[in-house]
């Protein structure tokens, strides 16, 4: 998806820095980082860490990015306005609230940044990562991106009924194929490893609840096996590109 939207790793790194660095950039009215790390002199990241360190059960680990002292007289303002973190069973979960959310262009960058903030909190508090929940008052796509979204959706989005037992992430590596099962909340449940589609099929089949999902998994695992055995790149839900054999 990032390649389709022409988002580079360099751009994501710069965006991550803008969320976590408190210093302002010249000629810019605000950055998410300045609001987050220096809100009227308060480092809200430090506040969240100290709050949860002292009281892991607290529901007060909240940071705000909307400043009414400025926004009431300003036509510009942050689209992402609030972070909240909570801990349950040594797992840190996050919620973010958007007043306005450009789903096509901004959201991929936004969710990347929120996950990086979660990474920082988990690292400082020595906690496992849980799911991230985002709430958007207005989630939208601008008219200028309608055609781009149409092209993207026609080539990337698959439609199937949701599997009550969860979903799978498939990847290949030097040691074979790895299939990871997550529940509907995004929490890892089980990891399956193997080098053949048949073996993985037998191990996974009891962890699906609808036939459409099972057919899909069979298709993807077969592609992963071909990729692994022929040293080809495999990306889930993408077409498998086979290398042509040169004529002798």
> Which position among 69, 79, 160, 205 bears the catalytic label?
79
Distance, CA of 118 to CA of 136 (rounded, Å): 19
Helix (H, G, I), strand (E, B) or coil at 63: strand
Close Cβ partners of 144 (under 8 Å, ≥ 6 residues apart): none
- Alpha carbon of residue 94 to chain centroid: 12
Q: What is the pLDDT of residue 13?
A: 83
- Name the pairing type of β-strands 139-140 and 101-102: parallel
Query: In Å, how far are 22, 35, 107, 114, 138 from 66, measured between CA atoms?
Result: 15, 8, 18, 16, 16
pLDDT for 2 beyond 50:
no
Q: How many CA within 13 A on the CB side of residue 59?
A: 0
Which letter does DSSP use for residue 207 in this model?
Answer: G
171-212 confidence digits (pLDDT tens) = 999 999 999 999 988 899 999 999 999 999 989 988 988 888
Q: What is the pLDDT of residue 7?
A: 80
Whole-structure pTM over 0.75, yes or no? no
89-141 confidence digits (pLDDT tens) = 999 999 999 999 998 888 988 999 999 999 999 999 999 999 999 999 999 99
> Is 69 considered catalytic here?
no
Q: What is the pLDDT of residue 248?
A: 42
Instruction: Give the long-range contacts of residues 2-11, CB within 8 A, separation 24 or more.
Output: 2/108, 4/152, 4/156, 5/104, 5/105, 5/108, 5/152, 7/108, 7/109, 11/109
**Mean pLDDT calculated for residue range 5-24:** 81
Close Cβ partners of 60 (under 8 Å, ≥ 6 residues apart): 51
Helix ranges (H only) for the chain are: 9-20, 32-37, 44-54, 68-71, 107-125, 146-156, 197-204, 211-229
Q: What is the pLDDT of residue 184?
A: 84
**Mean pLDDT calculated for residue range 45-55:** 98
205-235 confidence digits (pLDDT tens) = 889 888 888 899 999 999 999 999 999 999 9
148-165 confidence digits (pLDDT tens) = 878 777 766 555 567 888
């Amino acid at each position: 998806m990032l390649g389709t939207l022409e988002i580079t790793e360099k751009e994501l790194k710069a965006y991550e820095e803008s969320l976590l660095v408190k210093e302002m950039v010249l000629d810019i009215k605000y950055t998410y980082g300045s609001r987050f790390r220096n809100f009227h002199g308060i480092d809200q990241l430090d506040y969240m860490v100290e709050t949860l360190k002292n009281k892991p059960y607290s529901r007060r680990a909240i940071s705000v990015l909307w400043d009414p002292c400025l926004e009431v007289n300003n036509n510009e303002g942050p689209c992402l306005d609030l972070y909240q973190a909570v801990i349950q069973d040594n797992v840190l979960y996050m919620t973010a609230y958007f007043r306005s959310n450009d789903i096509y262009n901004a959201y991929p960058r936004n969710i990347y940044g929120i996950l990086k903030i979660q990474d920082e909190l988990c690292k400082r508090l020595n906690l496992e990562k849980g799911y991230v929940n985002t709430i958007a008052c207005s989630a939208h796509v601008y008219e200028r991106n309608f055609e781009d979204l149409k092209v993207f959706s026609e080539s990337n989005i698959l439609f199937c009924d949701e599997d009550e037992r969860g979903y799978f992430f498939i990847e290949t590596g030097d040691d074979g194929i790895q299939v990871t099962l997550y529940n509907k909340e995004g929490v890892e449940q089980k990891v399956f490893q193997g080098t053949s589609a048949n073996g993985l099929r037998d191990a996974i089949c009891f962890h699906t609840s609808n036939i459409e999902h099972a057919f899909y998994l069979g298709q993807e695992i077969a592609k992963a096996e071909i990729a692994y055995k022929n040293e080809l790149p495999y990306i889930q839900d993408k077409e498998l590109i086979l290398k042509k054999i040169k004529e002798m």
